Amino acid sequence: MTVADCFPHEDKFPHEEIAERRKWILRYAKKGGVGAEFGVFRGHFSAVIGRVLKPKKLYLVDPWEKLGERFNWGNGNYTNNNQLTTAQAKADALRRTQHLDNIEIIEDFEENFLTSLTEKLDFVYLDSSHHYDDVVRTLPMIDKALAKGGVIFGDDWYSNPKHYSGVCRAVNEFVKKADYEIVAAGYDAQFCIRRAGDIEYTHQFGTPALDEKF
Ligand SMILES: C[S@@+](CC[C@H](N)C(=O)[O-])C[C@H]1O[C@@H](n2cnc3c(N)ncnc32)[C@H](O)[C@@H]1O
């Protein structure tokens, strides 16, 4: 598949701009660790994670074509009114991340990946399903795979119960139940949690944990 095949349309959604805005949340993970992004789509944020955190290993996990030909999320610019195929999204993600060292592309569901994983993760960026039940099911699985001092961060932190609040609700419940704490949450719907008191690595605002300014 060529680049032109990945982009058979004019891209009207500001994917790159949004991915750049979200990078502030990455300051809470250590650089050079082992991490994963669950829900890669076209790889816009994968490229930012790779550039900013320079992971020793970065797993990019997305079922893509296992979901079928299309994402079927309805009409909207995000998928060019459902014209974007899962194969095109995957090809675009591969193209967008091919310059990164130490990445492993996993075309599978996060639950399968976690079940077969044998090493610990320093961070997981959770941006797959945003449904409450899915997040409730996934967070304890991530917890089992998380290294000491590791963080879970992710997207779609909307606290208004009338608007798409499944992630926020599931994360808040998990934090209490599993003795985690919220490290940061808010801007651009990002959140970050870690085990309570697990401050193996803590980046405070203003320290040089990241080269990039925010
Ligand atoms: C919102 S998009 C991810 C956007 C991407 N993180 C970014 O910032 O550009 C959601 C992605 O989650 C993937 N997905 C859905 N169910 C999944 C699962 N169980 N495990 C991993 N990824 C999943 C979809 O295929 C889709 O590509």
43-52 residues labelled b (16+ CB within 10 A) or e (exposed): bbbbbbbbeb
Q: Tell me, using a 6 A CB cutoff, whether residue 92 lines ligand 1.
A: no
**Predicted local confidence at residue 12, as pLDDT:** 82
**Predicted local confidence at residue 200, as pLDDT:** 66
Domain contains 141: yes
Distance in Å, CA 40 to ligand 1 centroid? 5
Q: Tell me, using a 6 A CB cutoff, whether residue 156 lines ligand 1.
A: no
Domain contains 153: yes
Domain contains 104: yes
Say how far apart CA 184 and CA 200 lie, in whole Å: 17
Per-residue pLDDT of the chain (214 residues; tens, 9 = 90+): 565 666 666 678 889 999 999 999 998 998 899 999 999 999 999 999 999 999 999 999 999 999 999 999 988 888 988 999 999 999 999 999 999 999 999 999 999 999 999 999 999 999 999 999 999 999 999 999 999 999 999 999 998 877 778 999 999 999 999 999 999 998 999 999 999 988 766 655 444 445 555 4
Ligand 1: nearest atom to the Cα of 89: 27
Distance in Å, CA 208 to ligand 1 centroid? 30
Which residues fall within 8 angstroms of residue 202, CB to CB, at 6 or more apart? Answer: none
Reading the block at residue 69, the tokens are: 């030909």
Domain contains 168: yes
**Predicted local confidence at residue 206, as pLDDT:** 44
Domain contains 25: no
**Predicted local confidence at residue 10, as pLDDT:** 66
Q: Ligand 1 pocket: which of 129, 139, 188 to mutate (most atoms <8 Å of CB)?
A: 129
pTM of the model as a whole: 0.93
Interstrand relation of 57-61 and 103-106 (parallel, antiparallel or unpaired) = parallel
Ligand 1: nearest atom to the Cα of 41: 27
Domain contains 204: no
Q: What is the CA radius of gyration of the chain?
A: 17
**Predicted local confidence at residue 161, as pLDDT:** 77
Ligand 1: nearest atom to the Cα of 86: 25
- The CATH number given to whatever domain includes residue 103 is 3.40.50.150
> Domain residues for 165?
30-195
Say how far apart CA 89 and CA 9 lie, in whole Å: 13
* CA-proximal residue: ligand 1, atom 27 (nearest): 41
Ligand 1: nearest atom to the Cα of 15: 9
Q: Tell me, using a 6 A CB cutoff, whether residue 113 lines ligand 1.
A: no
Tally of domains in the chain: 1
**Predicted local confidence at residue 164, as pLDDT:** 79
Domain contains 38: yes
Distance in Å, CA 213 to ligand 1 centroid? 27
> Long-range CB contacts (< 8 A, 24+ apart) of 177-185?
178/139, 178/140, 178/143, 180/143, 183/28, 183/151, 184/25, 184/28, 185/157
Domain contains 24: no
